[in-house]
Chain A
Amino acid sequence: MTEPLLQIRGLVRDFDGFRAVDGVDLDVAPGTIHSVIGPNGAGKSTLFALITGEVRPTAGTVVFAGTDLTGRVPHAVTRAGLAKAFQTTNIFPRLTVRESVAAAVLAREGYGRLLGARSRRRIDRDVIELCDTVGLAGQADRVGRELSHGDQRALEIALALATGPRLLLLDEPTAGMSPFETRRVVEQITGLARERGLTVLFSEHDMDTVFGISDEVTVMHQGRVLAHGPAVEVRANREVMSVYLGSEA
């Protein structure tokens, strides 16, 4: 196996005596699609927040592309090449799609030396390309809060892509969607990832969604890693089934 792009060792996070993440180890190989599954409350979102620096770990390390990112602030993590699309839609309610994506591109580029008009044109080009990629070209002049739920999710992904990540974290990207929508979204995200050579780590509570498209699957339960490995193997694991189907196993 090649050197992992993301390497997590012994990650722990306590919240007032409650251990949300309990000694998680995780390797994500470059160019793969890796899913973290588990029932609600398994610690998936906390794990993602620990990786992006929104939450500081109690113990453990996060190493990305050979750089130790443990405890770094979110903007530093993003600049290292790791972007996250949020579970709850996290956009700019009063900005247009165009402005939002431009802000995301600028946030990556740094605004200081970008007051000039020439760079503005380059940013506009990036913005148009990103809007096209996620299919928001026709909505470019609408403000965020007016978009449909699906379009808001698309904008959310465009914002994450705008930072030019090597690793894209998707925290339950299909939350609140119908099974049909979910399948479409997941297929389109994976298509996008393969096209752009992105590594994707995503979390999902519904296991049927992920097995078809994931290279690797990690199962979390009560803050711990219960199982991990290639999707087919994890699927056959009886312990995993018991977490999902009840405790009869």
Chain B
Amino acid sequence: MTVLDEKPPTPAPPRMRATAAVRGRTARLVLLLAVLALLAAAPYIATVTTVLTLQEVAALAVFAVAANLLIGQSGLVSFGQAVFFGLGSYTVTLGWEHAGLSFWEGFALAPFLGAAAAAVVGLVALRARTLYFALITLAFSQLFYQLVEQDTGFTGGADGVFAPVVPAWMENPVDGYLTLLGIAVAALAVLRWIQGSNFGLLLRAARENRARVQALGTNVYRLHLLAFTISGAFCALAGAMFVVYNQGSNAELFDWTTSGQPVLMSVIGGMYSFSGPIVGAFVYQFGHDWLVRYVADWQLVLGAVLLLVVLLRPDGLVGAVSKPIRRRRAAEAGTSDEPGEASGD
């Protein structure tokens, strides 16, 4: 049957495979709805502190998934996504302060400015590969940080801009949170669609084997530039969302430590799945809030956790949970024990 192999292929019984796939999809849908219901109900069952952390997580989850479009999906480890996150935040606050834009006007503008900035940065950074790419993006991050921090007149310098930008009705933590939750769900749905699209498939293929995709007829530089631009747009959107929690913008948003956050979240949660960075955002943020209360050197614990994840579960927490499930399902269906990752979410 096979051109190059004598061993006859062993297709699984089609009915069993279909039911396993359907069962998997149903289980995922139920899980998704349960998590969404829980998140929507959170303001009525959790403390105000938790709701505020959830505000932060909503913005950071979008940030992490947008950054992971590059990190995990494309294999482009950017240490400069804070440029676009900060830009999104400052678009809202500076637009309010200097151009008289309302919160929502600035909010709508942020992704476009983020995309434009990313197209320019990407044009330069994508000329380099691997470590050099990471270093160039890091340099851009620090460049923006210095620019914003030093120019005290326009940007407010290191103090940033803290003003009543956010509409009054969103000042209430619960309303602010529910609004951010809605935006996050919509943004993540779009990102999920992009990842599942033909474009997303080509990104993964180029991550696996860049030269081969090139040889198959695709200009990988342009492919990556588009991914970088899309990621920049969503990072900026996340930055604009962050204003609701932060009540303003400060220079630290551009710092390389901010760029590092989505990288850490993606690694902890699992960068080869869609939900990995979201789980990472939850674990990182709640872990941080909990740790700082009890441990002075919380970074020490973070470092240890990261080491453990990288050494034991390179595919992150989501991989640790989903792989055994898939393996069992695959064993039942009699197919490969390691299906492609595209189905994973």
Within 8 A of A (CB), among B321-345: 335-336, 338-342
Let me know if B1 and A84 touch, CB within 8 A: no
Q: Which segment, of B150-158, B205-213, B233-241, faces chain A? A: B205-213
Q: List, in ascending order, chain B residues with CB within 8 A of A95's CB.
A: 201, 204-205, 208, 340, 342
Interchain CB contact under 8 A, A93 and B208: yes
Contact with A along B153-172 (1 / 0, CB 8 A): 00000000000000000000
CA separation between A100 and B209, bound complex, in Å?
A: 11
A138 touches B5 (CB 8 A): no
The answer to whether B209 touches A91 (Cβ under 8 A) is yes
* B216/A78 in contact, CB under 8 A: yes
How far is it, in angstroms, between the C-alpha of A190 and the C-alpha of B205 when the chains are bound?
28
Q: Of the candidates B9, B215, B340, B341, which one forms a contact with A54 in the assembled complex, judged by CB atoms under 8 Å apart?
A: B215
Given contacts A103-B213, A115-B199, contact A154 B3 (CB under 8 A): yes
Are B1 and A104 interface neighbours, CB within 8 A?
A: no
A111 and B136 alpha carbons, distance in the complex (Å): 27
* Contact across chains for B216 and A108 when beta carbons are under 8 A apart: yes
State the majority secondary structure of interface residues on B.
loop
Q: Are B338 and A135 in contact (CB under 8 A)?
A: no
- Cβ contact of B9, chosen from A73, A93, A139, cutoff 8 A: A139
Query: Which of A9-17, A180-188, A197-205 is the contact stretch?
Result: A180-188
* Contacts of B214-232 to chain A: CB distance below 8 A: 214-220, 223
Known contacts: A111-B223, A135-B2, A159-B212. The answer to whether A148 contacts B7 by CB under 8 A is: yes
Contact, CB under 8 Å: B1 / A143: no
**B: interface residue count bin:** 35 or more
B198 contacts chain A at the CB level, 8 A cutoff: yes
A27 CB within 8 Å of chain B: no
Q: How far is the CA of A120 from the CA of B198 in the complex (A)?
A: 8
- B212 surroundings in chain A (CB, below 8 A): 86, 90-92, 159
- State the CA gap A135–B211 with chains docked (Å): 25
A103-B205 in contact (CB<8A) = yes
Report the bound CA distance from A93 to B340 in whole Å: 10
Chain A residues with Cβ below 8 Å from B1 are 135, 137-138
The verdict on A141 contacting chain B, using a C-beta distance below 8 Å, is yes
Known contacts A92-B209, A135-B1: A104-B339 contact under CB 8 Å: no
Q: Answer whether residue B4 sits at the interface, using C-beta atoms and an 8 A cutoff.
A: yes
Give chain A's interface residue range (CB within 8 Å of chain B).
35 or more
Name A143's contact: one of B7, B199, B340 (CB within 8 Å): B340
A163–B336 Cα gap in the complex (Å)? 27
Give which listed residue, A75, A93, A115, A151, contacts B218 with CB less than 8 A. Answer: A75
Contacts of A100 in B (CB 8 A): 205
Q: Residue A151 contacts which of B4, B199, B204 (CB distance < 8 angstroms)? A: B4
- Residue of B with least CB distance to A151: B5
Q: A107-B217, A138-B11 are in contact. Are A94 and B341 (CB under 8 A)?
A: yes
Which residue of chain B has the shortest Cβ distance to A132 in the bound complex? Answer: B1
| A196 vs B201: C-alpha distance when bound (angstroms) | 28
Most buried by A among B6, B9, B211: B9
| Residues in B neighbouring A78, C-beta threshold 8 A | 215-217
* Residues of A with C-beta under 8 A to B272: 94
A69 interface residue per 8 A CB criterion: no
A185 near B10 with CB under 8 A, answer no
Task: Check: B265 CB closer than 8 A to any chain A CB.
Answer: no
Q: With a CB–CB cut-off of 8 A, which chain A residues contact B19?
A: none
The reply to whether the CB of B202 lies closer than 8 angstroms to some CB of chain A is: yes
| Residue A162 is within 8 A (CB to CB) of chain B in the complex | yes
Q: In the complex, which of the residues A92, A136, A143, A163 has the most CB atoms of chain B within 10 Å of its own CB atom? A: A92
Question: Is B197 an interface residue, CB under 8 A from the partner?
Answer: yes
- Assess A157 versus B3: contact at CB under 8 Å? Given A111-B223, A141-B336: yes
Residues of A within 8 A of B223 (CB): 111
Complex Cα distance, B8 from A136, in Å, reads 10
Task: For residue A195, give the distance in angstroms from its CB to the closest CB of chain B.
Answer: 13
Which B positions have Cβ atoms within 8 angstroms of A? 1-11, 197-199, 201-202, 204-205, 208-209, 211-220, 223, 272, 335-336, 338-342
Q: Could you list 10 further interchain pairs (A-B, Cβ under 8 angstroms) beyond the known A54-B215, A141-B335, A185-B4?
A: A75-B217, A92-B204, A100-B205, A103-B205, A106-B202, A111-B199, A114-B199, A137-B1, A139-B9, A141-B340
